[in-house]
Amino acid sequence: MPPVVTPPVVTPPGVEAPVVVPPAEPTTAAEKYGWGTPLPESDEFDYTGGPDPAKWSTINGCWAGHNGNGKRCGDRSTVDGEKLIQTGLRNGDTGWLASKLDQRYGRWEARVRSFNTADSGKEYHPLLIVWPESDSWPQDGEYDFLENGAPGEECANAFIHYPHPSMPVQQEFLEEKDCGAPLSEWHTIAFEWTPDHVRGYIDGKEWYTLENGAGPGGRKNIQDMPSGHLTIQFDNFHGGGMREASYEIDWVRIYSLDGAGQSSATDPGSGATAGDTVTGSQDSLGGDSSGRDSAGRDSAGQDSSGPDAPGQNSSGPDASGPATSGGSGSGDARFGDSSDHSSGGGSSDGERSSEGTMTEAAPAASATRASSFDALHSD
């Protein structure tokens, strides 16, 4: 029996072959990894006026700013029907906002951008933070999953603090490497916190993973904050003579680990042994950010994180700190300030002085890199 010959497919003249377009890759971690339904405390900012008081703690009037620099004022955070806008003025007045949702473990994601609106002056710092609900710092840690020294910088930074009982500050510094578009353009920044790890994402792609790291002197695993809430801050590190700027948030979406869309507390896990894994392509330096602000508050809307405490350095990583894989080195000297940042709105602001230096009480989570941000962005 002769073989069957299949005639070739012929495209008629003047007819183009169909173009197959692959589906777009998700640009949010929630979509890519199936985080489920956002919790009711999420906010699309599709209204006008002040931030929704059912979801956010704001400032009635003004509080003293970070380390006494300018003021944090309620009217510096407004919603225009499409987005939240925090503005920093030349006189140093700026915005601050805290979510009313406290949870142990969960996921947070926000679509943000920041940019200067004047030609000169000292620059504001845009931040997204999970701050301990206890306002106990450094005892309960602090997760600054976005923290930059100026609006619209080329690369994203993060500073993830270990819970530890005394100074100096102990933390991991992460810097985006293959940076893509600057932070003046819209990006989604996400943070995942589980009993086993903390993990950062940019535009739906894994940035870093940190695990464990408990050690002598009472330092706990990096994921062992008792519970925390989100804060959005546009902070003043310098006083007056600031460069006017804007920090915009298109939406904030908060998730429970089970993706159920209902607020729930999760019992703490047993924790893993120290020094297991740090993944990602960013630095895991023993350096310090040298001056940032966090977001605690008491029931009166004031900070209750206590008096000044020894803080950061700007001299670079401690020799005993974790290994590195590139990044900015020396705790990011761009911050130009050797004081630590801290919590929410009170006049004390929980500022830390510059008496201490950054050291590692024990080897931090090991620097084994399970994924590469460069590789993730090469597609």
Range with the largest mean pLDDT of 61-70, 121-130, 265-274: 121-130
- What share of the chain has pLDDT > 90, as a percent? 58
Instruction: Give residue 54's pLDDT.
Output: 98
What sign does the dihedral 69-75-80-83 (CA atoms) show?
positive
How does residue 12 score in pLDDT terms, banded at 50, 70 and 90?
low
If you average pLDDT over residues 285-292, what whole number do you get?
34
Query: What are the b/e assignments for 273-301, b being 16+ CB within 10 Å?
Result: ebbbbbbbbbbbbbbbbbbbbbbbbeeeb
| Amino acid found at 40 | P
Query: Whole-angstrom Cα distance, residue 339 to residue 311?
Result: 6
Q: How far apart are CA 168 and CA 221, in angstroms?
A: 16
Token pair belonging to 257: 């680990």
- Is it the case that residue 293 has pLDDT exceeding 80? no
pLDDT beyond 70 at 129: yes
Q: What is the mean pLDDT of residues 142-162?
A: 98
Q: Scanning the structure block, which residue is given the tokens 């969960």?
A: 106
Instruction: For each of the domains in the chain, give its residue range(s) and CATH number, in order of start.
Output: 29-376 (2.60.120.200)
Give residue 19's pLDDT: 80
Q: With cut-offs at 50, 70 and 90, classify the pLDDT of residue 11.
A: low
pLDDT tens sequence across 322-356: 322 233 332 333 333 333 444 443 322 333 222 22
- Position 15 scores a pLDDT of 66
Q: How far apart are CA 22 and CA 216, in angstroms?
A: 51
